[in-house]
Amino acid sequence: MNETTRFLGDPAGWAKAQFHLDDWHGLWGGRRFFLSGRGPVVVQCVPPAQHESCYALTLPPAEAAALFFLAGQQDLLAVTFPARPLVPDETQSRLTLINAAGEARTVVKNGRDRHAGWAALYTTVLDVERRAQQTAALYTGPFRQAFQPEWD
């Protein structure tokens, strides 16, 4: 058992867990990705113009659990990156895992930092985002930086 799997706890409780990836930059845009362990996903896609399109998709529970499993397999909460100032205009991503008890842990990665496990998870997130974009947008308009989905 590693740091991430200890934090997430028993996979039977992952339906109550959440996964947030905040990966946007004021100049370059990006995405905010929210996953409930039950399967609902909300993605805010933000182009450089800061005019958001927000999409929703519900994953099968096993596919949602696979994202938590991948985070645990890669032990992403144990990943550390060198402390350094951002290069001008460099992006910064924040991955937050929230366990079934409601406790949150966040890992921050600067755009030029590299980690194979982070890249694997990010590729999976982008795949889910592309699928969500095939649905009708829930919202289009000015970027809502403070947006948080309301899970049942």
Q: Tens of pLDDT along 36-66?
A: 999 999 999 998 888 999 999 999 999 999 9
Going by CATH, does the domain composed of 3-140 fall within 3.30.1560?
Answer: yes
Phi, psi values for residue 10, rounded to 5°: -60, 130
Cβ atoms of 134 and 56 within 8 Å: the answer is: no
Collapsing DSSP to helix, strand or coil, 142 comes out as strand
Kindly report whether the global pTM for this prediction surpasses the value 0.85. yes
Q: What is the pLDDT of residue 142?
A: 94
119-148: per-residue pLDDT in tens? 999 999 999 999 999 999 999 999 999 999
What does the buried/exposed string (b/e) look like for 79-93 if buried means 16 or more CB atoms within 10 Å of the residue's CB?
A: beeeeeeeeeeebeb
